[in-house]
Amino acid sequence: MQSKNKPLYMIILEDLKARILNGEFKADQQLPTEVELAEQSGVSRITSKRALIELEREGLIYRKRGSGSYVKKQDNEHKLPEFTTMHSMSNPNPIISMILPYLATNELEYIQGASEYLDSKGYYLSIHYSNWDKNKEKELLLRVPKIGSRGIILYPMSTMINIDVLNALYWNNYPLIMIDQYIESLPVTSVVSDNLEGGYQATKKLIDLEHKRIAFISSISIEYRSSVRDRYQGYCKALRDHHLPVDPELIITDFYEEADEQEDKNAFYKTMISRLMNIGVTAIQVEHDHLAVDLLRSALDMGIRVPDQLSIIGFDDHMISRLVEVPLTTISQDCKEIGRRAAELIVQQIQSPDKAAQQITVPVCLIERGSTSSPSLFNLVPTQRK
How many Cβ atoms from other residues are within 10 Å of residue 74's Cβ? 15
Question: What's the pLDDT band for 189 if we cut at 50, 70, 90?
Answer: very high
Q: pLDDT tens digits, residue range 214-253?
A: 999 999 999 999 999 999 999 999 999 999 999 999 999 9
pLDDT number for residue 5: 54
Contact 369, 296 (CB under 8 A): no
pLDDT number for residue 92: 52
pTM: 0.76
With vertex at residue 237, the alpha carbon angle to CA 232 and CA 240, rounded to the nearest 5 degrees, is 130
Q: Quote the radius of gyration of the chain (alpha carbons, Å).
A: 23
Q: How far is CA 354 from CA 69, 96, 184, 357, in A?
A: 42, 19, 20, 9
CA–CA distance, 126 with 152 (Å, rounded to integer) = 9
Question: Does an H or E element contain 368, and which?
Answer: none
Q: At what angle do helices 45-57 and 8-21 cross, to 10 degrees?
A: 50
* Segments making up each domain of the chain, as ranges: 1-79, 85-188+334-363, 195-329
CA–CA distance, 16 with 28 (Å, rounded to integer) = 14
Superfamily grouping for domain 85-188+334-363? Response regulator (3.40.50.2300)
With vertex at residue 284, the alpha carbon angle to CA 278 and CA 287, rounded to the nearest 5 degrees, is 140
Q: pLDDT tens digits, residue range 45-77?
A: 888 888 888 888 778 888 887 788 999 886 644
* Lowest mean pLDDT segment, chosen from 81-85, 263-267, 319-323: 81-85
Q: pLDDT tens digits, residue range 295-327?
A: 999 999 999 999 999 999 999 999 899 999 999
Question: What's the pLDDT band for 10 if we cut at 50, 70, 90?
Answer: confident
Q: At what angle do helices 8-21 and 34-41 cross, to 10 degrees?
A: 110
pLDDT number for residue 377: 56
pLDDT number for residue 103: 72
Share of the chain above pLDDT 70, in %: 90
Q: pLDDT tens digits, residue range 88-107?
A: 334 456 899 999 998 766 77
Nearest to 97 by CA among 21, 1, 38: 21
How many Cβ atoms from other residues are within 10 Å of residue 345's Cβ? 23
- Range 195-329 has CATH code 1.10.3720.10: no
Contact 284, 300 (CB under 8 A): no
Question: What's the pLDDT band for 7 if we cut at 50, 70, 90?
Answer: confident
195-329 shares the fold of 85-188+334-363: yes
- Range 1-79 has CATH code 1.10.10.10: yes
Question: What's the pLDDT band for 79 if we cut at 50, 70, 90?
Answer: very low
- Examine the pLDDT at 2 and tell me if it is beyond 70: no
Q: How far is CA 243 from CA 208, 239, 246, 309, 374, in A?
A: 13, 6, 10, 23, 19
Strands 330-332 vs 365-367: parallel, antiparallel or unpaired: antiparallel
Question: What's the pLDDT band for 205 if we cut at 50, 70, 90?
Answer: very high
Contact 13, 55 (CB under 8 A): yes
